[in-house]
Structure 1
Amino acid sequence: MFPGMGGGRGGMNPKKMQSMMKQMGIEMSEIDNAEQVIIKTPDGDIIIDNPSISIMRAQGVDTYQINGDVKKAPKELVIPDEDIRLVCEQTGASAEDAKKALEENNGDLAEAILALSS
């Protein structure tokens, strides 16, 4: 990225690098007391425990670099009680069967009702 900043011998010392970056209008800072970072996605959460977070600010834009212990948590399907009651009313099924049908159909009411009706 910058000449003379490569790893290994002869690399630029961090203070000199920071000074050079500041001259270019780039500021670096860190978040020292973060315990966890959670990134929410449609498929689930990406959880980073014990994160080390660096922030680079250049031309009014903040860029975050996060390192830590990464784990993924799949999205948890939450079935509302109202949906279970509706499926029970429409099909005559028990609450347990209605909930199971909703879970098997990713919470889709129509599909759960069709599954229990056939």
Structure 2
Amino acid sequence: MFGGGGGLNPRKMEQMMEQMGIDVEDIDAEEVIIRTAEYDLVFNNAEVTKMDARGQETYQVIGSPEEVEAGSAGESAGSDESDAGPSIPDDDVELVAMRADVSEDEARAALEDNDGDLAAAVESLE
């Protein structure tokens, strides 16, 4: 299409994109997770490029993903919780503790037992 074996010079390509109003930015991503209903695709150390063409942002991810069970990607990464359950926001714990007039530890346990459902947690404590 462009002729002359080997394609376009990257600098020339960048100049052409700039002339067309397309901004390109490399993103220093440590991990990219794509969640689907059946599985998660986890890209570690992926090359990520963001292209902004007049307000329309497009992301390009280059790498080899690992396919893992749906919802399991990133569960333990950065988690302060020692258990494998869902991370319960502190605001939810405080709200349940106040509503049910119990300690925050009891509220957190009730939220964990009810998969983070606020109403069910309060109901189980009353």
TM-score range, shorter chain: 0.5 to 0.7
Counterpart pick for 1:18 among 14, 35, 47: 14
In the alignment, residue 23 of structure 1 is paired with which amino acid? Q
Alignment of 1:43 with 2:38, yes or no, is yes
After TM superposition, the structure 1 = structure 2 runs for residues 52-67 of structure 1, keeping only pairs within 5 Å, are 52-67=47-62
After TM superposition, the structure 1 = structure 2 runs for residues 1-118 of structure 1, keeping only pairs within 5 Å, are 4=2, 9=5, 11-31=7-27, 33-75=28-70, 81=113
Matched position secondary structure for 1:11: coil
Name the residue aligned to 1:95. Answer: none
Q: Which runs of 5+ in 1 are unaligned?
A: 84-118
CA distance 1:22–1:48, change in 2 (3 Å): same
Percent identity of equivalent pairs: 42
- TM-score normalised by L of structure 1: 0.54
**CA apart distance, 1:53:** 0.5
In the alignment, residue 50 of structure 1 is paired with which amino acid? N
Deviation per CA, 1:21-80: give whole Å up to 9, x if none: 11111111111x3111011222231111110011111020110110112011122697x7
Deviation >3 Å, runs of 4+: 80-83
In the alignment, residue 58 of structure 1 is paired with which amino acid? A
Backbone CA RMSD of aligned residues: 2.6
The answer on whether the counterparts of 1:34 and 1:50 sit within 8 Å (CA) in structure 2 is yes
- TM-score normalised by L of structure 2: 0.51
Q: Which runs of 5+ in 2 are unaligned?
A: 73-84, 86-111, 116-126
Distance of 2:15 and 2:69 partners within structure 1:
43
Give 1 or 2: higher strand fraction: 1
